[in-house]
Structure 1
């Protein structure tokens, strides 16, 4: 039993090392071009439709950078920006953005109650699971699982991504099937409410 536990601990440790191998300082040197859209440190994007990158989780950020670079996740505004970047450079960028603190947005008070109910409890009638199950009750995400932190993210960006999942336009990554299934059951009003709620969640 002790060997089994030791093996599990070692395996988790190696996984953490594999996805925590970025150098934030090296990443900062390559992040200047990112600030034009995502703001300094990825904390204050110039538009609500652009995501905050700070504190999302290094594994998640790295996986998305790889998907964008390969074209698996197509983002017109990112075309060519990651060309020629090595795996280590992408890891460093992910580590840099993850090392910065998320700046929480201000949620619309009129939508908070509906959004909170959906985020924390889902919608039993339509089969929508609670967002908190994967993204943490405080919106801090799940780093080992690669689920991003949502607390503080721009509401406009969250809504845009949920609609992209619902339309099947965003279908990359291990969790895409889950998100597409969840988003398919969400109404526009629910998307607006939950996106608003997470924007003010900390």
Structure 2
């Protein structure tokens, strides 16, 4: 492997850990899903995030970021959609019932989680940053871009499962209606606090 590419491995890995382990819409939703549905049923959610991230990063690398610079109104539309969807998710989370066998609630599917990345402000911020600072010029552009995608998504998986596990650890306490309500309102509130990220 080219020495310039090798020199990118450590900074990309560190960036990926910091970017994906810190609170954001994905991690808050993963913790909530882990608490209400368990680790196994949250697997599609985790895989959907990765699928969405890979697709989004690829489109950014092919020039989608430049399209937003050329047509600023697209960013406004995306921001409004993101805000509306996050508010809707926050309301849904706040009304979640304690997990039980007869519960009709369902975790996010692979497709839902993947599509959510298109309007997730933290995903855009992370991937635009990664795509601009970790890609080399000339013939090394695509090798460095592919390296960035591979490392980012490999490092991100254990970070995601950490949040799912945190949620799973409190799952038994959710049978207590008071704790369930407090947990859901906390998760809902944290999700709403991510909205300002959309307009940064």
Q: TM-score range by the shorter chain?
A: under 0.3
Q: Greater relative contact order (Cα 8 A, min sep 6): structure 1 or 2?
A: 2
Point out the structure with the larger helix share.
Answer: 2
TM-score, length-scaled by structure 1: 0.26
TM-score by length of 2: 0.26
